[in-house]
Structure 1
Amino acid sequence: MPQPAPLPWLTVQGRHLVDPAGSAVRLQGVGLGGWMNLENFITGYPGNESNLRRVLLDRMGREAYDAFFDEFYTAFFDEDDAAYLTSLGINSVRIPFGYKHFEDDARPFELLEEGFERLDRVVTLLARHGIWSVLDLHAVPGRQNQHWHSDNPTHVADFWQHPHFQDRVVHLWEALADRYKDRPEVAGYNPVNEPSDPTGEVLPAFYDRLEKAIRAVDPRHVLFLDGNKYSTDFSAFAERSEPLPNTVYTAHDYALPGITRATAYPGVVRGEYVDRDVLEATFLRRTEFMRSTGTPVWIGEFGPVYPDPAQDGWRLQILQDQLDIYAEHDASWALWTYKDVGLQGLVHARPSSPYLSLISDVLATKQRLGIDSWGGTDAGVRDVLDPVDALFDREFPEYEPWPWGRGPHVAVLVRHILLAEPLAERFGDLFRGVSPEQARELARSFRFAGCDRRQGLAEVLRAHLGRPDALTGE
């Protein structure tokens, strides 16, 4: 493979990311969700990652467990994956990772070399294909938000109440900054994914502390800082006289029709008519802080889910409209997500693969009971939820807990935790007695050569990025 020229350093200059010649660069990429930070809808298990790992280790034993994950880390993203992204015109990948790759809770502040090596492999691989990396700490000690993707087994984000957890994140980022301080192929650091600080007071103070700690080690890399309330709310920074230097404030911009039980776009979602104008108004509202401070806009996550092939046409239209809006406003972006088991990924494991064949019954149960927050529906458990709703209407009608109110709060507690816990045990039982070689074969289900590509999604990206279809040459 011909080697691309070394990637240049990126820095913030006014509203743009620029290279050393001062030319503006728009990052246009994907998120590598589900690789170094497992998520239930991406790899098919119920609940949160730590519990998944517990039940798999219990059922499989250490040797088979290690064999599965050793194979999985390479199978999920390797040379063929990077080459495919290059063929689409992608120039950047946001790499989510959980802290447990770098530190054991039983030995805090003792860093694990194997986590750094795992991350190094993909950063280097992407650079060989001319693709920048953005390093994204997706799950922190104590959990920074109330949901599964921060490996939260509860609904409480303890990170904001405990300085110990904050100290560990600063320590980890000091080590990461030292590791990558001389590597321009890393576009920058995204230190905390989707923070959700109920007070709104701890987050800006923590960012100030973290920025100073990182800059003391690495003064050169860009920081990508998520807003509060899952990177949709920047009011916590409104009183800041100046944005932090060499910093991009990042919004997440999921469009409701693309992630809910909508039936059409344009169309009515939760009582509101949503069309392209509404998508643009939402984008402008979420990025008002960046535009008012004259700093770059980077949409760190966005994108529809694709639960029903019959709906792909209008869901892809949402994606097309969002891409056009971002281009018109000179915004960088990272589409969520690259690879999964079939709900949202650009590439997905085949239903006939060994892994999906093994877990198919659990996937069906998850769908029937709405156990996944992302892409799930409560239609199959209304007989449970209706009496709960009636009780709250009668006894606590004013209750609207952080961050999204009563309905999502009850869903987290009942569907995504209470029902997920026993189903996770059932999921683990499927792996009982799996040999190390069988475990490796299951993990190989995620190899690019054995996966399917979501062709409609690829066509939208290719057309937007000006790349010909490799098959047709058009």
Structure 2
Amino acid sequence: MKDRSTIRFRGRPRHACYLSPFYRISLLLLMLCMGLLPARAQLSRLRADGQRIVNASNQEVILKAVGLGGWLLQEGYMIKPSFSGGGTQWSIKKRLYDQGQSDAAVEAFYQSWRDNFITKADIDYLASLGFNCIRLPMHYELFLTSAQRAVRNSVARNSGNYNNYVNSLTSWYNSNQLFNDANLEGFRTIDSLLRWTGANNMYVVLDLHAAPGAQGTDANISDALAGNDLWNRSIYQDITVRLWQRLASRYMNHSGIAFYDLVNEPNNVPDNRWIHDLYERLINTIRGLGDTHLLMIEGNGWGNNYDYMEPFTFSNRSNLVYNAHRYWITNSTTQTDPNPNQINLIANMVNFRSTHNVPVWVGETGENNNAWLSENIQALNSKGIGWCHWTYKRFDSQENAALMRINPPYLMDGAANMAAVLNNIRFANCVANNGTIAAVAPGSTPPPANAPIGKTIWLQGFNNQYVSSENGEQPMNCNRASVQGWEQFVVVDAGGGKIALRGNNGLYVSSENGEQPMNCNRPSIQDWEKFDWIVNADGKISLKGNNGMYVCSENGEQPMNCNRPSISGWEAFAWGEVSAAATSEVAPAIAAEDFKVIGYMPSWSGSVNAVQYSKLTHINYAFLLPTATGGLQSIDNPSKLQSLVSTAHANGVKVLISVGGWNDGNDSGFESLAANSTYRNNFVNNMINFVNQYGLDGVDIDWEYPDAGASANNYVALMRQLSSAMHSRGKLLTAAVIGANGGSILSSVFPLVDYLMLMAYDQNNFQHSTYNYAVQSLNYWRGRGLPAEKAILGAPFYGRPTWESYAQLVNRGANPYADVFDNVGYNGITTIKRKTNLAFDQGGGIMIWELSQDATGANSLLSAIHEVVLERGGGNPPPPGDAPIGQTIWLQGNNGQYVSSKNGEGPMWCNATLVQGWNQFLVVDAGSGKIALRNLDKYVSSENGEQPMNCNRPSIQDWEKFDWIVNADGSISLRGNNGLYVSSENGAAAMTCNRTAIQGWEQFNYGVAGAAARTTLAAAAVPGKKADCTASGNILVYPNPLVQGGTFTLRLDKYDASAPVLVVIVDINKRVVACHKANAGVLTIPTGNIASGFYIVTVTNGRHTYTKKIVIQ
């Protein structure tokens, strides 16, 4: 698309509100029921029928789509509005490189970007808005291998590398090394999208948005390294044809793909005939494979000019679609351009469609004000022309023309923002641009025009009394003389033209379907929480429930009901705003899978074996105390900490050390060390050493009451140093703070920590931790600017004033669902669940003080929390059913040798002949359906495929997680978090995790340590290898390394003259590059035209097979 970075629209009405999941679901159900479009039915292959696009039943399908700009290809203006520092994706990468980010760090960032920018939740949401199609803008670099992409990235670092990149591409093309791997990132993202769209009966348009070499001079849309080189260098056209050949071969039978958009927005191409000739090749190549998909042609001038590209100019004209892109032009359906082949004006488009009897489709339109957007969509719809809104979401601090906006910070403003950016792009954290949605979404029903959406209001009955929520503790009444907290309601857009009312307890008003008095106690919006907002002639309003009945105040004489068939005095309410400031309806503050459940475990109480690890994400071990000079006192019960770390990590739970604590109010150690830079340095270094010593995942600072003034500033200085030390090592930094009024914790601390634990308890006597205090705590800290995802709501597992544990209270007869027993205040199951829902809606998790105080069985508060987590879509999936979790195993490669950890002192190898200590691994549940392997208290790391694997990690992070895959022959394979497979390298080199597919070297036998080795593994993937081969004896290869084109000598120590010698040379991708056969124990092997690089030589002689690595220079 064109560079839109200078286009800004301000001052238009906006409702900056999130859309709740239930709003999205209700819209989806509405559209499914309406059945407006044939494309919402079961998908079938689309084809051209004259001017129409039709399905297999010959029904016309009008595709109304959204473009997923920014997902697989970043454009500068989407990443930061009006950015003037260069908008190509490679220039964004260069900024990161220039700020010290390594290649691996940048690649990891972009992998996380792709994993989080678009997920199934995004596609479900778009379906709920009534869209029936997704346009996927693709970057060709994602169909390169990671090693090939690294060569392209080298040009971002140094433009002088461009010719080397072109030469590399040419070499890869000529040697057929492009786009062959079925597991390339581009294929993976397409496959994921097709699964998500298929579940919603939506079509997909595959759009080659950034073509090899760049399809024009507009660098942003093609991530151009050099403009127009698609047309200037024929190799790029060859590569483009090869790419579409691979795409068509893979997807030709997928009916969920509407059509292929062959090249996005050619622009400033000197001659349209150049574009025509490439399309001719592409069309014939795809049709030659037997692929009948619709093919979309895009003309010069950003996809609009078709001189020399009319349908009759192509030799194969079947199933073509012609494209237009519409930005900033008239919406008139009668105004024309004098050139009939310039079709971005609607009238020209209609005429072109009629003249040439072909379908037309607007592949991009948008980036304008809402009035223009609405008129544009209406005009296109009136002419039966399908369209695609650009774009789905982009960064901005205010409403824009995308459907969703992503809040700052901006990636352009520094590498330090990378983590925040990855969090903000998640669906749950994006903000709906309601004005844009109302203007373009096919199935959106705007909220009632007269309802004060987002406002906090009061309602006054016929008796001049005010409606009260009763805090959700009893049925609602209309009998209050004044407006206090319980008499305030936020008006929420409930979707489908209806509203909901949310009380200040965070819960929603329910009509109870008219079957009982109304309550304000629902955690989410379902049918009974939806109302029509009806404005009466006198200005008062009435509320009609989903049962078709009206809400009645009952004149304040009894609880309110929603059971009146008509409006009279008691069914009419005056209303007004509590304050002029709008409040926003928010979606859950954090994605369910990121919700944290954190339990404190004190050194003096509780058993490591009694912890319900599957219901926790983090455990904080309390407490470690600092000295006044930055030293550390001895940790209590160190063996317990060691056991906790080992057991928690085995269950995928992180462990932090909590430093400080109440300590009878004595925080002199913190006061002293934080005030002195030398002592701060001592403390930080000691914490680094302590974390490393125990293999911890981070540090939790419990300096709970720093004084105002100098002490508060010293706290910031200490946290800044700790933040740098921990985060640079991949560790967490958190802090515990009082529930409210924590003014001595300055806001400058917020960016330094991963999250804060809000101690929303110990407020006063037996009412020390009410639900209202939890609301107050979250409001206080978030009101000061703490991001919601960093606000962890604290909950007590004890009562006051007696300080008895919840377990003790239940044992004494307390009701587990109540909050008071024998004048002791505590949190029962009902309140704990409400707080957990509150934490989901307004925070990032829930924290428990402390785990040993919980009851067991059905009365467990942690179990109650976990029930809510599961209801909200969180919780880890169980470990893979076939993985031997908790068992110590060996792994045997198809060379017959065993995998060795090498004691973590060097890279791992698959060359051990016996199962001994270094060759045994405990299989650990790493959470999210993945496993980890531990040997001698260290974990196996994939090293992200960037270097040989090691077994030296003290804890489980992403690189230590693997998928356990059971193959058809009973062997297993391990897939790292980089999506690549572990390879034994046949024992000839250190093990790696960089293979894109499973073959012989990526398969392993396994067994429980002490059991006999299984030998079911087939070795057909390695030419000449037999299942019963063993490596005995040795071979000598010299010279090694050798010069390209030279020869090497191979000598067998144990030559079996009764059998021939078969020599196979394979490259690192296991392609056979040479074979030789001889009847001698000494061979001279020519390398001929084999390229320089690393190779494996496999020699088979009778029943013996040997391997050797060689380097050709």
The reply to whether residue 347 of structure 1 matches residue 373 of structure 2 is no
SS at match of 2:235: helix
- Correspondences of 1:24-39 after superposition (within 5 Å): 24-39=60-75
Query: Is residue 251–residue 287 contact of structure 1 (8 Å, CA) maintained in 2?
Result: no
Following the alignment from structure 1 to structure 2, what is the Cα–Cα distance between the partners of residues 439 and 219?
A: 41
2:326 maps to which of 218, 241, 253: 253
SS of the counterpart of 1:471?
strand
**Contact kept? 2:78, 2:395, Cα under 8 Å:** yes
Of 93, 108, 118 in structure 2, the residue corresponding to residue 53 of structure 1 is 93
Compared with structure 1, are the counterparts of its residues 24 and 161 closer, same or farther at alpha carbon in structure 2 (3 Å cutoff)?
same
Where 1:301 maps in the other structure, the secondary structure is strand
- Whether 1:473 aligns to 2:496 is yes
TM-score for both structures, normalised by structure 1: 0.72
Equivalent of 1:326 in 380, 392, 408: 380
Q: Which of 200, 215, 223 matches 2:272?
A: 200
Give the aligned partner of residue 919 of structure 2: none
Match of 2:631 in 1: none
The 5-angstrom pairing of residues 297-312 of structure 1 reads 297-305=360-368
Give the TM-score normalised by the residue count of structure 2.
0.32
Q: Following TM superposition, by how much is the alpha carbon of 1:468 offset from its aligned partner in structure 2, in angstroms?
A: 7.3
Are the equivalent residues in 1 in contact too, given 2:244–2:286 (CA < 8 A)? yes
Preserved contact between residue 331 and residue 346 of structure 2 (Cα < 8 Å) = no
Q: 1:240 to 1:53 in 2, by over 3 A?
A: same
Matches of 1:220 and 1:14 in 2, distance apart? Answer: 16
Counterpart mapping for 1:289-438 below 5 A: 289-305=352-368, 315-342=369-396, 343-350=400-407, 356-357=408-409, 359=411, 427=413, 430-431=414-415, 434=416
Number of aligned residue pairs: 368
Displacement of 1:276 after TM fit?
3.9
Residues 56 and 228 of structure 1: CA distance in aligned 2, closer, same or farther (over 3 Å): same
Alignment partners' CA distance in 2, 1:224 and 1:277: 23
Report how far residue 442 of structure 1 moved: 2.7
The match for 2:138 is: 97
Kindly report the root-mean-square deviation, in angstroms, between the aligned alpha carbons of the 2 structures: 2.6
Is contact 1:7–1:185 with CA below 8 Å preserved after alignment? yes
> Comparing 186-195 with 337-346, which one deviates more in the overlay?
337-346
For residues 465 and 34 of structure 1, what CA distance do their matches in structure 2 show? 24
For 1:56, the aligned partner's letter is L
User: Matched residues in 2 for 1:14 and 1:239: separation?
Assistant: 12
Classify 1:163/1:67 alpha carbon distance in 2 versus 1 (closer, same or farther; 3 Å).
closer
**Unaligned runs of at least 5 residues, structure 1:** 257-273, 306-314, 351-355, 363-426
Relative to structure 1, the CA distance from residue 10 to residue 238 in structure 2 (aligned partners, 3 Å threshold; closer, same or farther) is closer
Secondary structure, counterpart of 1:230 in structure 2: helix
Paired position in structure 2 for 1:399? none
Maintained 8 Å contact 2:137/2:208: yes
Tell me which of 188, 199, 202 is aligned to 1:131.
202
Amino acid at match of 2:122: D
Q: Structure 1's 340 and 459: CA in aligned 2 closer, same or farther, altered over 3 A? A: same
Residue type of the alignment partner of 1:161: N
Q: CA deviation at 1:69?
A: 1.6
Q: Please give the alpha-carbon distance, in whole angstroms, between the structure 1 residues aligned to 2:104 and 2:419.
A: 11
What is the distance in 2 between the residues matched to 1:358 and 1:237? 41
What letter corresponds to residue 252 of structure 1 in structure 2? H
Correspondences of 1:12-27 after superposition (within 5 Å) = 12-27=48-63
Say whether 1:70 aligns with 2:117.
Answer: no
Quick check: 1:29–1:334 contact (8 Å CA) kept in 2? yes
**Change in CA separation of 1:322 and 1:280 when aligned onto 2, cut-off 3 Å:** farther
Map Cα deviations across residues 230-268 of structure 1 (whole Å, 9 max, x no partner). Answer: 111111224836782111011111124xxxxxxxxxxxx
Which of 149, 159, 165 is matched with 2:221 structurally?
149
Report the AA paired with residue 219 of structure 1. Answer: D
Q: Is the 8 A contact 2:297 2:321 kept in 1?
A: yes
Task: Give 1 or 2: higher strand fraction.
Answer: 2
Q: 1:100-179 to 2 correspondence within 5 Å? A: 100-103=141-144, 104=148, 105=165, 106-107=168-169, 108-109=172-173, 110-111=178-179, 113-147=184-218, 148-153=220-225, 156-179=227-250
* Matched-pair contact (CA < 8 Å) for 2:367–2:402: no
Q: In the TM superposition, what whole-angstrom CA distance separates every residue of 1:314-370 from its partner, at most 9, and x where no partner exists?
A: x212111111111121111101111111343111112xxxxx2255xx5xxxxxxxx
- 1:228 paired with 2:268, answer no
* Cα distance in structure 2, aligned partners of 1:42 and 1:9: 33
Structure 1 position 224, deviation (Å)? 1.0
The structure with more helix, counted as a fraction of residues: 1
Counterparts in 2 of 1:275 and 1:213: CA distance versus 1, 3 Å: closer
Indicate if the aligned counterparts of 1:255 and 1:302 stay in contact, CA closer than 8 A: no
Letter in 1 for 2:96: L
Structure 1 residue ranges (4+ consecutive) displaced by more than 3 angstroms after TM superposition: 1-6, 104-109, 274-281, 438-441, 464-470
For the residues of structure 2 that align with 1:454 and 1:279, how far apart are their CA atoms?
Answer: 31
Unaligned runs of 5+ in 2: 1-24, 33-39, 149-164, 338-344, 448-492, 498-1113
- Paired residue for 2:424, among 445, 460, 471? 445
Matched to 1:124, the amino acid is: R
Is the CA contact 1:255–1:279 (under 8 Å) kept in the aligned structure 2? no
Task: Give the letter aligned to residue 232 of structure 1.
Answer: N
Query: Matched residue of 1:251: which SS?
Result: strand
Secondary structure of residue in 1 paired with 2:237 = helix
SS at match of 1:250: strand
- 1:471 offset after TM fit, Å? 2.0
Amino acid aligned to 1:95: L
Q: Equivalent residues in 2 for 1:206-285 (5 A)?
A: 206-238=278-310, 240=312, 244-256=317-329, 276=332, 282-285=345-348
Distance of 1:145 and 1:207 partners within structure 2: 15
Distance 1:132 1:467, change over 3 A: farther
Give CA deviations for 1:4-41 in whole Å, capped at 9, x if unaligned.
86421111111111111100000001111111111111
1:26-81: CA deviation from partner (whole Å, max 9, x where unpaired): 00011111111111111226331122223324532234323322221122111221
State the structure with more CA Rg.
Answer: 2
2:214 touches 2:225 (CA, 8 Å); kept in 1? Answer: no
Work out whether residues 51 and 360 of structure 2, in 8 Å CA contact, stay in contact via their aligned partners in 1. Answer: yes
Q: Would you say the 8 A contact 1:34–1:340 is kept in 2? A: yes
SS across alignment from 2:308:
helix
Q: Which amino acid aligns with 1:216?
A: G
After superposition, what is the alpha-carbon deviation per residue over 1:57-112, rounded to whole angstroms, capped at 9, x for unaligned?
Answer: 45322343233222211221112211111111000011001111112353443225
Kept after mapping to 1: 8 A contact 2:213/2:236: yes
Q: Is the 8 A contact 2:124 2:196 kept in 1?
A: no
Q: Is the 8 A contact 1:49 1:151 kept in 2?
A: yes
Does the aligned pair in 2 maintain the 1:67–1:439 contact within 8 Å? no
User: What does residue 312 of structure 1 align with?
Assistant: none
- Larger CA deviation: 281-290 vs 450-459: 281-290
Aligned equivalents of 1:227 and 1:287: distance in 2?
16
